[in-house]
């Protein structure tokens, strides 16, 4: 609230200037940012309501817990788990006490369990605890967010978010990028579906339908890395999952952070300042509840930077550390810019920096060089295993990263109404991602709310963009490092030339449009998002997947989903009936009024005629 008051005062001062006529482009750019108020444009009472509403939704999410799965109770006559009874009020009489948090317990179950019944239970239980309670709050949030956006001159909150990219038609550009990438995703999807069908059977995984979302090793099926044990192309060959090695060598979370820092400093970039090690939260506290979603924090004074992460000793968390430390490195590099320019060239750039380094840090030869892998060979099978593992993270994520904000933009614009929030969510997940819910959903549910970024009001398209940008960065940094050979073999570790190029781009902050930053990175070759580097990186895997998918249906038929995703809820039926009754009553009233008017006009004409 204090920040918003400060921003309002500066906005009032800034709007007294004819700043659009200024000749200095940097000053003009500063004014263009200061004269957009954002949520501070709301009246104080509504601003307070919006701030408290978002905090309330985040608290509901972060404190949500579920009960343990009990395979011995509440079965239907056919032997299936009675999911609906399990969440009835009678549960309290049974003694079910919710004790499992998303991190680490629920996440670990989704990653490790191979019992489809347990996975289905946990999948639904989390949405009951974290998503469903947010539905009405989110509807109010949309109203306030749209009001703030319109006070800033935007059509809705979605248009306001998209303005960060300074692009005329972001919708169209993203659609074109996805259209090019979709065939690669569909081949990965077909192969993974085949392997899961071999494990669970055709009654659980359809031959040519969407994949049930609870079987993909992740609560939101956004990455599929935890299906490796079922899907790895060449078992027994080198794998880049180094979790066992980290544990065997006694790594602790702090050691993992030091390992990531050393990669950045090997490029000539800055070490983390002393305060980072003193004030960061890198393990889950035992004395209080915290939001465990990993995040990086810049306290804007040039010395105080922190990461908050409930770190586990796993390969996945090692990569996450690189990602979050990439945010901090970006913050450090632009710390000398005016405050207004201390941000990423666009939100996707900020998300990409740490991941760029992780592309090198994940290669088998790099992991061998730092002692986390042994006996790495250069065989074709090792190559395919590595690329497949990367695809389970990078390629599997693309449609999810694309659709989250497509859904939100439609909600903000009114294209998706209050009575179809969940239906539209699953339409997008089916059509773009090819995953289906493991049991029917309805409009009493609010499955989008079970993903942190929805209640926390964090735009998501940045991640889709970052997954494209990071490969553009990687290709150019590899050239600077003098790499020769396939792009997926490149490791820029210890290359000061690559570090200098990266520093030149990061130090600009937001002082220049992201298209100009991309021109600097690519030595003037392009200012556009380009999927060619990602296709080049995965080219050997694309050929391999096509050979494996001969005779397999590539794509998915929605009609063949094991569970049809959205049923009509009682609330929706009642609402529909009420609306229908109101419409009928309104229609009758209008007809009666028209008839009366016609009769009145007829009588008047008759009187006039008689009088004349």
Residue 158, both tokens = 């979605």
Catalytic member of 324, 410, 443, 476: 324
d(Cα 413, Cα 611) in Å, to the nearest integer? 58
66 three-state secondary structure:
strand
- Residue 435 is classified by DSSP as E
Residue 265, both tokens = 């400093």
| Residue 441 contacts residue 422 (beta carbons within 8 Å) | yes
Alpha helices (H) along 526-569: 532-537, 539-548
| Residue 293 contacts residue 452 (beta carbons within 8 Å) | yes
Query: What sign does the dihedral 174-320-231-203 (CA atoms) show?
Result: negative
Q: List Cα–Cα distances, 426 to 393, 404, 439, in angstroms.
A: 21, 11, 12
Instruction: Give the containing element (helix H, strand E) for 65.
Output: strand 65-66
Ligand-binding annotation for 351, yes or no, is yes
| Residue 148 contacts residue 157 (beta carbons within 8 Å) | yes
CA angle 62, 68, 69 (to 5 degrees): 130
Residue 305 β-bridge partners: 298
Ligand-binding annotation for 327, yes or no, is yes
Return the closest-CA partner of residue 257 out of 233, 281, 235.
Answer: 281
- Which long-range contacts (C-beta less than 8 Å, at least 24 apart) are formed by 557-561? 557/208, 557/209, 558/209, 558/210, 558/430, 558/431, 558/436, 559/209, 560/206, 560/207, 560/208, 560/209, 560/210, 561/206, 561/209, 561/210, 561/430, 561/436
Ligand-binding annotation for 462, yes or no, is yes
Q: List Cα–Cα distances, 8 to 15, 28, 36, 141, in angstroms.
A: 11, 19, 10, 21
| Residue 250 contacts residue 311 (beta carbons within 8 Å) | no
Catalytic member of 453, 489, 496, 516: 453
Ligand-binding annotation for 606, yes or no, is no
Is 187 in the active site? no
Crossing angle for the helix pair 253-266 and 315-333, to the nearest 10 degrees = 50
Is 453 in the active site? yes
Residue 307 β-bridge partners: 296
Residue 182, both tokens = 């979709």
Residue list, annotated binding site for chloride: 165, 462
Residue list, annotated binding site: 165, 323, 327, 351, 462
Residue list, annotated binding site for Zn(2+): 323, 327, 351
Catalytic positions: 324, 453
């Amino acid at each position: 609230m204090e920040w918003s008051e400060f921003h309002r005062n500066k906005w009032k001062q800034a709007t007294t200037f004819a700043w659009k006529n200024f000749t200095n482009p940097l000053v003009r750019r500063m004014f263009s940012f200061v004269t957009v108020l954002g949520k501070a444009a709301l009246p104080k009472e509504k601003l307070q309501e919006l701030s408290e509403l978002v905090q309330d939704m985040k608290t509901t999410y972060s404190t949500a817990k579920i009960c343990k799965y009990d395979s011995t109770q509440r079965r239907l006559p056919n032997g299936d788990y009675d999911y609906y009874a399990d969440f009835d009020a009678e549960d309290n009489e049974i003694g079910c006490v919710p004790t499992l948090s998303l991190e680490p317990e629920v996440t670990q179950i989704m990653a490790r369990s191979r019992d489809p019944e347990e996975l289905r239970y946990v999948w639904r239980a989390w949405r009951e605890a974290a998503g469903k309670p947010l539905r009405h709050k989110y509807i109010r949030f949309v109203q306030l967010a749209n009001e703030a956006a319109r006070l800033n001159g935007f059509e809705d909150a979605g248009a306001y978010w998209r303005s960060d990219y300074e692009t005329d038609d972001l919708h169209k550009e993203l659609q074109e990028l996805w259209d090019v990438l979709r065939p690669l995703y569909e081949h990965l999807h077909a192969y993974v579906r085949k392997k899961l069908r071999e494990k669970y059977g055709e009654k659980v995984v359809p031959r040519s339908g969407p994949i049930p979302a609870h079987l993909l090793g992740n609560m939101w099926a956004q990455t599929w890395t935890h299906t490796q044990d079922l899907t790895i192309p060449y078992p027994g060959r080198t794998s880049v999952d180094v979790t066992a090695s980290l544990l065997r060598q006694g790594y602790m979370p702090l050691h993992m952070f030091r390992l990531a820092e050393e990669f950045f400093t090997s490029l000539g970039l800055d070490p983390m300042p002393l305060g980072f090690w003193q004030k960061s939260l890198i393990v889950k506290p035992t004395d209080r509840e915290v939001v465990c979603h990993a995040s990086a924090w810049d306290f804007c004074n040039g010395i105080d930077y922190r990461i908050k992460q409930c770190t586990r000793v796993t390969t996945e968390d090692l990569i996450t550390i690189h990602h979050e430390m990439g945010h901090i490195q970006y913050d450090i590099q632009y710390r000398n810019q005016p405050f207004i320019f201390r941000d990423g060239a666009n939100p996707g750039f900020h998300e990409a920096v740490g991941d760029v380094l992780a592309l090198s840090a994940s290669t088998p030869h790099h992991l061998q060089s730092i002692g986390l892998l042994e006996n790495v060979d250069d065989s074709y099978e090792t190559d395919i295993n590595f690329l497949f593992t990367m695809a389970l993270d990078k390629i599997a994520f693309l449609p999810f990263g694309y659709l989250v904000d497509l859904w939100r933009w439609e909600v903000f614009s009114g294209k998706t109404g209050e009575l179809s929030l969940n239906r539209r969510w699953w339409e997008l997940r089916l059509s773009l991602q090819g995953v289906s819910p493991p049991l029917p959903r309805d409009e009493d549910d609010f499955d989008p709310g079970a993903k942190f970024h929805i209640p926390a009001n964090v735009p998501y398209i940045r991640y889709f963009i970052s997954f494209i940008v990071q490969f553009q960065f990687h290709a150019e940094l590899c050239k600077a490092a003098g790499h020769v050979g396939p792009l997926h073999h490149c490791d820029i570790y210890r290359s000061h030339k690559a570090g200098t190029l990266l520093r030149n781009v990061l130090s600009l902050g937001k002082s220049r449009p992201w298209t100009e930053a991309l021109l600097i990175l690519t030595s003037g070759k392009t200012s556009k998002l380009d999927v060619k580097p990602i296709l080049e990186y995965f080219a050997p895997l694309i050929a391999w997947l096509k050979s494996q998918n001969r005779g397999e249906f590539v794509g998915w038929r929605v009609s063949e989903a094991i569970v049809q995703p959205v049923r009509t809820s009682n609330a929706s039926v009642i609402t529909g009936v009420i609306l229908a009754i109101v419409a009928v009553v309104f229609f009758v009233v209008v007809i009666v009024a028209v008839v009366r008017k016609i009769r009145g006009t007829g009588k008047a004409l008759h009187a006039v005629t008689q009088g004349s």
